[in-house]
Chains A and B, each alone.
Chain A
């Protein structure tokens, strides 16, 4: 038996291309990958039959000149099976497209879980950063006002100024606190959305 490298190289190429497509997210590409992979493997089986020969089972040739019929029978079976699976996958692609408008395979539950946990961590971090920033801002304002207050000349003016300043300061602090609360509440809401404890519904 002579070994011809061309069919083997072709089948290697088909399998490699099929595997690459199989790793894609789009189901249609996965389908193309399955078809290529199936053809590559079928070709491999066919090459195991050895040299080409005369048609078997018809009684037109001597047994030692016949082609090996078994791999051909196996390939026929495999082709039929690949056909069925391809049809099934195609209907699944269609169904996914009907349901979502795309045929991308979404992440599995564990992946979503990990991603949500990461997002929760990020949000928490952002809330903490925001809070720290407001604290810093308030302290800055206070220091500024104190500095202004120290510069005031006469006592009566100073008292009046101080009262006005104190009012202004309080108003600004109130405003700042309100802003901060609003921001934190918004963050919390987003966090709660991301939390989604059951993870049962699809995103």
Chain B
């Protein structure tokens, strides 16, 4: 069973290599390879999750080296759960991008690089979830970032280059901070294996510990787009191609959040940083959603809600209780799915109408009923209408906050409620303008172009609705499966906070 652990990392890399090798010659084969690789990934991660849930954390020692010497990959409940969710989401996005590329008859050349970049990024994401070594985590980040640089600047248009510049420089900053943190960690402890660090950090002086923790936290916070360092996200995401934005929104920030889960629960339990995290969560929640309310472009609005809702997960980590962490993990699973499906729907709207600006859209409700349903359901899910999973996740976090009590957690609970309400306002605004009102009187030429586009997309988009519908249904399925899922997240949080199962599994009982 341990042999399965590296598969989610290796398979996408292998598929990317094969695709680069066959190049643009066999286009249909390219799509089949990506979808096959991701489907196998999904199955493997599901098997891993089942195994890990029954038998505790599993460790794969790469190259057969003992743990403190070699790098190990570790699957526990948290990482396996994140892996399953990310595989399911990326499979849908991959199907979407394959179908959309065939529909558009796009140039063969950009597509030849799109899929390998996408797959390398997914390998990086899987590696980040599974790795048991801090330096390997850095390498995983770099893998997923280099894939995302290519996807974000895809086609090299002016707006994408501009967005790419912001994104690349921010990502580089966080990588450099991470490297500096790694140097300090290695100088202070002489190891980079996470499990061994969890043991050795206990012997450090509080000052060094705090320094290391803040450095790592800042590096991860930039990736997760937590408030003081979240400004880059709404500016760079909306310009990328729809499948790329969707998967960035679903996965990349969650990788940062996952790293913070590990950092706070495993490496620095009960540190003084919890309060800081709560403040950051408060600011992220409110400022993000206020940004979302002000936007007139659907993609930008969604980017701001993405920033805002990262605050919910940070809130769960900051509370540092089993209930809080379980709520955060549940929310991460929900948010990955829902945010991705919303960005894909925004992509569909753009294909249909040629714009995502609510000032120009209108009457989509009558023109495209299916599209409206596909937007409405995840939008309500995101803003937390019962009984959808967004409601359940927020409920869990709010209960956890009330359990902890105290001024700051109560303020956070209030902020969480306000954010939920304002999210509803922001999506309702989009709904009212783009879907409900009468179609907008457009200039002649634009109307013609729109008509043409509509005809074209009406002829060949049915294939695109499939993966989006699947994602929306997955978001709804979390409600049906809420019982097992929340007990699973609770066990995951339990295991994470107990620390010992992870450390014992990696280092052995000695």
**Which residues of chain A in 73-110 are interfacial with respect to chain B, using CB atoms and an 8 Å cutoff?**
74, 77-78, 81, 84-85, 88-89, 92, 95-96, 99-100, 105-106, 108-110
The chain A residue with its CB closest to the CB of B159 is A202
Answer whether residue B50 sits at the interface, using C-beta atoms and an 8 A cutoff: no
Q: Tell me if A108 and B183 are in contact (CB < 8 A).
A: no
Size range of the chain A interface in the assembly: 35 or more
Answer whether residue B139 sits at the interface, using C-beta atoms and an 8 A cutoff: yes
Chain B residues with CB below 8 A from A22, complex form:
169, 173
Q: Tell me if A92 and B165 are in contact (CB < 8 A).
A: yes
The chain A residue with its CB closest to the CB of B186 is A48
Bound Cα distance from A108 to B162, whole angstroms: 8
Bound Cα distance from A105 to B161, whole angstroms: 9
Bound Cα distance from A77 to B420, whole angstroms: 43
Partner of A108, one of B175, B179, B235: B235
The chain A residue with its CB closest to the CB of B136 is A77
Q: Tell me if A100 and B235 are in contact (CB < 8 A).
A: no
Chain A residues with CB below 8 A from B166, complex form:
105, 108
Bound Cα distance from A106 to B239, whole angstroms: 15
Q: Tell me if B235 and A92 are in contact (CB < 8 A).
A: no
Q: Tell me if A109 and B235 are in contact (CB < 8 A).
A: yes
Answer whether residue A153 sits at the interface, using C-beta atoms and an 8 A cutoff: no
Q: How far is the CB of B25 from chain A (nearest CB, A)?
A: 25
Chain A residues with CB below 8 A from B135, complex form:
74, 77
Partner of A45, one of B139, B156, B183: B183
Bound Cα distance from A110 to B230, whole angstroms: 14
Chain A residues with CB below 8 A from B158, complex form:
96, 99-100, 202
Q: How far is the CB of B373 from chain A (nearest CB, A)?
A: 27
Q: Tell me if B176 and A38 are in contact (CB < 8 A).
A: yes
Q: Tell me if A200 and B357 are in contact (CB < 8 A).
A: yes
Answer whether residue A41 sits at the interface, using C-beta atoms and an 8 A cutoff: yes
**Which residues of chain B in 156-197 are interfacial with respect to chain A, using CB atoms and an 8 Å cutoff?**
156-159, 161-162, 164-166, 168-169, 172-173, 175-176, 179-180, 182-184, 186-187, 192
Q: Tell me if B183 and A44 are in contact (CB < 8 A).
A: yes
Bound Cα distance from A78 to B186, whole angstroms: 15
Partner of B186, one of A71, A99, A197: A71
Bound Cα distance from A94 to B360, whole angstroms: 34
Answer whether residue B142 sits at the interface, using C-beta atoms and an 8 A cutoff: yes
Answer whether residue B457 sits at the interface, using C-beta atoms and an 8 A cutoff: no
Size range of the chain B interface in the assembly: 35 or more
Q: Tell me if B235 and A27 are in contact (CB < 8 A).
A: no
Partner of B360, one of A70, A109, A198: A198
Q: How far is the CB of B304 from chain A (nearest CB, A)?
A: 11
Bound Cα distance from A68 to B300, whole angstroms: 48
Bound Cα distance from A38 to B135, whole angstroms: 16
Chain B residues with CB below 8 A from A92, complex form:
153, 161, 164-165, 168
Bound Cα distance from A19 to B180, whole angstroms: 14
**Which residues of chain A in 29-80 are interfacial with respect to chain B, using CB atoms and an 8 Å cutoff?**
30, 34, 37-38, 41-42, 44-45, 47-48, 70-71, 74, 77-78
Chain B residues with CB below 8 A from A41, complex form:
176, 179-180, 183
Q: Tell me if B235 and A110 are in contact (CB < 8 A).
A: yes
Bound Cα distance from A81 to B146, whole angstroms: 9
Bound Cα distance from A197 to B296, whole angstroms: 10
Interface residues in chain B, defined as those with a beta carbon under 8 Å from any beta carbon in chain A: 135, 139, 142, 146, 149-150, 153, 156-159, 161-162, 164-166, 168-169, 172-173, 175-176, 179-180, 182-184, 186-187, 192, 235, 300, 355, 357, 359-360
Interface residues in chain A, defined as those with a beta carbon under 8 Å from any beta carbon in chain B: 22, 27, 30, 34, 37-38, 41-42, 44-45, 47-48, 70-71, 74, 77-78, 81, 84-85, 88-89, 92, 95-96, 99-100, 105-106, 108-110, 197-198, 200, 202
Q: A38-B176, A88-B168 are known contacts; what are 6 more A-B pairs with Cβ within 8 Å?
A: A30-B165, A45-B183, A99-B156, A99-B157, A109-B235, A200-B357
Closest 9 CB pairs of A and B: A48-B187, A108-B235, A45-B183, A41-B179, A44-B183, A105-B165, A81-B142, A95-B156, A99-B158
